[in-house]
Chain A
């Protein structure tokens, strides 16, 4: 690398990383700092607490439960969204008016803010909502979409899938465009059918898009907050509390910012380990396939 290149690279790299450093990393560091103190987030003074917050968090049953719920939502949503995403992207990778229409329909849920999403779905899924009225008219029993602890987790997972599929479809659609058509022509001459084409060309060539979607879905679901805050408030009886929801609740409602910071640090550590291993694994896979 020559001197000019270095200059150019530095110039291109610095501004972005700098802003990131000031406005995201520094607050995260501050959060880690607070986690070693006993600050309520509001008093003018606070004292050093050592590792006590971390010890307490380790034995916190509610935190364990939240971790489980979050992992469940993450694994299910990531898998389902990616399977649907690839399937629909392949179906929609054509020209035509209807294709544009479908793409838009899948994308629409993303365009709404969470508050609107919350209101709309509440009017549909609550005990006396539209869907339950319909079920009753058809002679069925009303379903407690938010009232049954297990079903409530599934409802939140379903809405996460509903809102994220369009996002993943876009990534896969863009990924599909980078696959040279010549590759398909080559195997078509060999008489490969559609499934074989998908298996041997489309899917391997989608590897970078696959990495990206998995990582975004994984990290995005691990910080699930909005839908819970708007739809179930963590209930019933804490069944749908995710880690992020609990961190905010403990920090703001129970006034224990430092303790909630230690929960957040645990969360960061767990998610980092999983995300980094996932990334490394997926990158290796990319290198093998491309």
Chain B
């Protein structure tokens, strides 16, 4: 009974708050479907009769920008980076969580320093390193940089979760003669599902939305990602708000879809975890 009443009270508070939080998205989405005159005259109205798809049709494929090509590059970069990050960092975190020695403590501190550096600050040195290794202007270079940059974040997510898992799990498996690799992949990794799901969501959206690094690392003569391509196509001084809004919606749509899709997995993972506890 008490629970019931508690959850009803929370709606009174949460519904208005949610609507308030949705206003900025409403503005972006609704204006993408309006004509320029309509945006300038009444930016916040929704007159169903006047809505148009022209903005999308006009801006999706132009001589200098092709959204499908851009989607492909973005999907490639994002998915390869995220998959590798999850594989490499979950294993690293297992070592951090289960072994303690001075070498690892130092590594852990070095990882912390990676959380503190703003990416814009190391742009020029990074470009030098990539150029030396022959990785400039290649998707590989961008992927490796993405991995390097997000290792600290991913490791901290996983270490936190692995610490909460009982050591008895791996010790009992060990008695059965399993190697550390097997223990990790067979027993622990499936239990990390909530952590993996949140890491995938965060990493995907950060890498997808990244703006400066793809422009610089992919360079001038090669491919472009959705986020960079769109701003290249629109141009920064542009006041064609109708195109800007349409492209913002096109650029963000896949990541919203991914989120809504992952959210199901994510919640399933969460509830499973709680039942086991």
Seen from chain A, the residues whose Cβ lies within 8 Å of a Cβ on chain B are 1, 4-5, 8-9, 11-13, 15-17, 19-28, 30-31, 34, 41, 91, 94-96, 98, 100-116, 119-121, 123-124, 130, 162, 167, 170-171, 173-174, 176-182, 194, 208-209, 211-212, 215-216, 219-220, 222-223, 225, 244, 247-248, 251, 257, 260, 264, 267-268, 271-272, 275-276, 279, 286, 290
Docked-complex contact A177 and B274, CB < 8 angstroms: yes
Seen from chain B, the residues whose Cβ lies within 8 Å of a Cβ on chain A are 2, 6-7, 10-11, 14, 18, 21-25, 27-28, 43-44, 88-89, 91-92, 94-95, 99, 107, 109-118, 120-122, 124-126, 128-130, 133, 144-145, 147-149, 151-153, 155-157, 160-161, 163-164, 179-181, 184, 194-195, 198, 201-202, 205, 209, 211, 227, 231, 244, 248, 251-252, 255-256, 259-260, 263, 267, 270-271, 273-274, 277
List 22 interface pairs A-B (beta carbons < 8 Å), by A numbering.
Answer: A4-B179, A13-B92, A15-B88, A16-B147, A19-B151, A20-B152, A22-B144, A24-B149, A26-B129, A98-B14, A104-B263, A108-B25, A109-B21, A112-B248, A114-B209, A119-B248, A121-B24, A174-B195, A177-B273, A251-B121, A268-B116, A275-B116
Docked-complex contact A19 and B124, CB < 8 angstroms: no
Interfacial chain A residues near B43, Cβ < 8 Å: 123, 130
Docked-complex contact B180 and A123, CB < 8 angstroms: no
How many whole Å from A218's CB to the nearest CB in chain B? 9
Docked-complex contact A120 and B24, CB < 8 angstroms: yes
Docked-complex contact B116 and A9, CB < 8 angstroms: no
Interfacial chain B residues near A108, Cβ < 8 Å: 21-22, 25, 256
Docked-complex contact B117 and A264, CB < 8 angstroms: yes
Docked-complex contact A216 and B112, CB < 8 angstroms: no
Docked-complex contact A31 and B92, CB < 8 angstroms: no
Known contacts A114-B211, A119-B248; A17 and B11 CB within 8 A of each other: no
What are the 9 tightest A-B residue pairs by CB atom distance, in nearest-first order? Answer: A23-B148, A30-B125, A12-B91, A113-B209, A8-B180, A16-B88, A223-B118, A27-B125, A244-B118
Interfacial chain A residues near B260, Cβ < 8 Å: 104
A178 nearest in chain B by CB position: B164
A208 in complex: contacting residue of B112, B122, B133, B163, CB < 8 Å: B163
CA distance A26 to B131 in the complex (A): 13
CA distance A91 to B164 in the complex (A): 23
Known contacts A19-B88, A26-B129; A94 and B7 CB within 8 A of each other: yes
How many whole Å from B15's CB to the nearest CB in chain A? 8
A107 in complex: contacting residue of B6, B133, B152, B259, CB < 8 Å: B259
Interfacial chain A residues near B164, Cβ < 8 Å: 178, 208, 290
CA distance A162 to B22 in the complex (A): 12
Interfacial chain B residues near A120, Cβ < 8 Å: 24, 27-28
Docked-complex contact B21 and A106, CB < 8 angstroms: yes
Known contacts A16-B151, A26-B129, A120-B28; A104 and B259 CB within 8 A of each other: yes
How many whole Å from B243's CB to the nearest CB in chain A? 12
How many whole Å from B11's CB to the nearest CB in chain A? 7
Interfacial chain B residues near A271, Cβ < 8 Å: 116
How many whole Å from A155's CB to the nearest CB in chain B? 14
Majority SS at the chain A contact face: helix
Interfacial chain B residues near A101, Cβ < 8 Å: 18
CA distance A27 to B131 in the complex (A): 12
Docked-complex contact A276 and B198, CB < 8 angstroms: no
Docked-complex contact B277 and A19, CB < 8 angstroms: no
Docked-complex contact B148 and A19, CB < 8 angstroms: yes
From A91, A112, A121, A162, residue with most partner B Cβ within 10 Å? A112
Docked-complex contact A23 and B126, CB < 8 angstroms: yes
Docked-complex contact A5 and B151, CB < 8 angstroms: no
Interfacial chain A residues near B22, Cβ < 8 Å: 105, 108
How many whole Å from A21's CB to the nearest CB in chain B? 8
From B164, B194, B274, residue with most partner A Cβ within 10 Å? B164
Interfacial chain A residues near B267, Cβ < 8 Å: 100
Known contacts A30-B128, A108-B21; A276 and B88 CB within 8 A of each other: no
CA distance A123 to B241 in the complex (A): 11
CA distance A275 to B259 in the complex (A): 30
A110 nearest in chain B by CB position: B205
Interfacial chain B residues near A179, Cβ < 8 Å: 274, 277
